[in-house]
Amino acid sequence: MSTQKFATNALHAGHDVSANAGTRAVPIYQSTSYVFNDADHAANLFDLSETGYIYTRINNPTNDILEQRLAALEGGIASVVTSSGTAAISTALLVLLKAGDHIVASNSLYGGTYNLLSVTLPRLGITTTFVDPSDPENFGKAAQENTRAVFVESLGNPKLDVLDVEAISTQAKTLRVPLIVDNTVATPYLLNPIKHGANIVIHSLTKYINGNGTALGGVIIDAGTFDYGNGKFPEFTEPSPGYHGLVYHEALAEAAFIAKVRIEGLRDHGAALSPFNAFQILQGLETLEIRIKKHSESALAIAKWLQEQEEIAWVNYPGLETSRYKALADKYLPVGQSGIVTFGVKGGFDSAKTVANETQLFSLLANIGDTKSLIIHPASTTHQQLSDASQADTGVTKDLVRLSVGLEAIEDLKADLKQAFAKIDKSVLVH
């Protein structure tokens, strides 16, 4: 494991310059497949007695560098990149779980993940109980005999609740199931969940890691700390019919899960990352540290400013002194609390929709983590398909507006919000 600092690893980890024709930038290996030396070489690669490249759905030299770099930045033993953050989540869960298994998940999740767990996976016989994560004991209380994973977001999108990852990991350990943490909003610069007991870390690379809004991607990072030989995971301890009888736990020890993600997950679910996107994401990753510091600084400044605006009913940002998550933010996100701010607009649904509609510099769209500032009214867009109860669970109220604060000059951002607030029906402000 690299002992170098974050900024150095973000620029260099995984890239052996001499093995890549002296290229200073990571090259794009835009090839679907790789020529074997001979038939024996091919056979050895397929039976894992030799390592090498076979087919880009399974592995690729550009993706490989991104995988090593992300594993180094999160403190994992290895990772697998995927075509999107959603692909990372579904691939990880489908490799780990089978029909009849159960997940205990935080109820404060990105809407797409909430839908995957609450609607799509149950169709395959994998069920989820959602719990309020603010009391870590809720995870243990909701566990069933067939529980096989705990799933959370370290900093919930859009609730912005900072989770007590250590306390939740204690619950997962007692249940003897892996703790999976989606660390997308926090980024590996602000928080490393593995240091706090996470077994698997997931990112949507589409957000801050790429940072420029140019490429979708995801990653599954394995801490290598979970014991799949504990009797609860026969797919890891019995011969796999999916890979000519390979016993993952025996053959691959601490790398059992991530190896299965690659050789069965990518092979069978096919959610491979394009090497071109890996290249784009590598460009963004190089500057993650300086960007996320600035995103965090600007978001805090905007949050404080919003608290002073008469049109605003409430502001939620974990770095605010008034935030109920401030103590947890001090522990888990001491350097910065990322670039997302939510606030409630007086007048509810209509006023919030007006604000989202009227900003000009803040782009109205469904994404976060871009260098450019973004805005959305989740109740009428991303969370529209959820019931009122599910919206409330995921932290979405009718009056909530979500900002992803970009890297523009802060004065320009305030001016843009100010002119949008001026368009709200003023009768809602009288009282």
Ligand X SMILES: Cc1ncc(COP(=O)(O)O)c(C=O)c1O
Query: What are the beta bridge partners of residue 147?
Result: 102
Minimum CB separation of residue 215 from ligand X in Å reads 9
For ligand X, which is the closer residue by CB, 86 or 106? 86
Location of structure tokens 């395959």? 124
Q: How far is the CB of 206 from ligand X (least distance, A)?
A: 4
Q: Which of 218, 217, 252 is nearest to 235 (CA)?
A: 252
Least Å distance, CB 50 to ligand X, is 33
Supply the minimum distance, in Å, between the C-beta of residue 155 and ligand X: 8
Q: Which is nearer to ligand X, 147 or 382 (CB)?
A: 382
Q: How far is the CB of 113 from ligand X (least distance, A)?
A: 6
Bridge partner residues of 81 (DSSP): 219
First to last CA, the chain: 59
The answer for residues whose C-beta is within 8 angstroms of residue 324's C-beta and 6 or more apart is: none
* 364 residue type, one letter: L
Q: Which residue shows structure tokens 């736990």? A: 249
Q: Which two tokens stand for residue 68?
A: 């090593």
Least spacing, CB of residue 91 vs ligand X, in Å: 11
**Of 356 and 424, CB closest to ligand X:** 356
Q: What is the DSSP letter of 130?
A: E
- Positions in the binding site for ligand X (CB under 6 A): 84-86, 110, 112-113, 153, 157, 182, 184-185, 204, 206, 216, 218, 368
Positions of E strands within 278-395: 312-316, 340-345, 363-364, 374-376
Q: Which residue is nearest to ligand X (CB)?
A: 85
93 or 368: CB nearest ligand X: 368
Q: Taking the complex as a whole, how short is the minimal distance between the CB of residue 244 and ligand X, in angstroms?
A: 32
Nearer to ligand X, 206 or 342 (CB): 206
Kindly provide the residue ranges of all beta strands, DSSP E only, lying in 7-154, ordered along the sequence.
78-82, 102-106, 127-131, 147-153
Nearer to ligand X, 143 or 186 (CB): 186
Q: How far is CA 229 from CA 144, 368, 417, in A?
A: 20, 38, 54
CB-wise, 97 or 216, nearer to ligand X? 216
- Name every residue whose Cβ is closer than 8 Å to that of residue 136 and which is 6 or more positions away in sequence: 164, 167, 168, 170, 171
Cα angle 154, 104, 402 (rounded to 5 degrees) comes to: 40
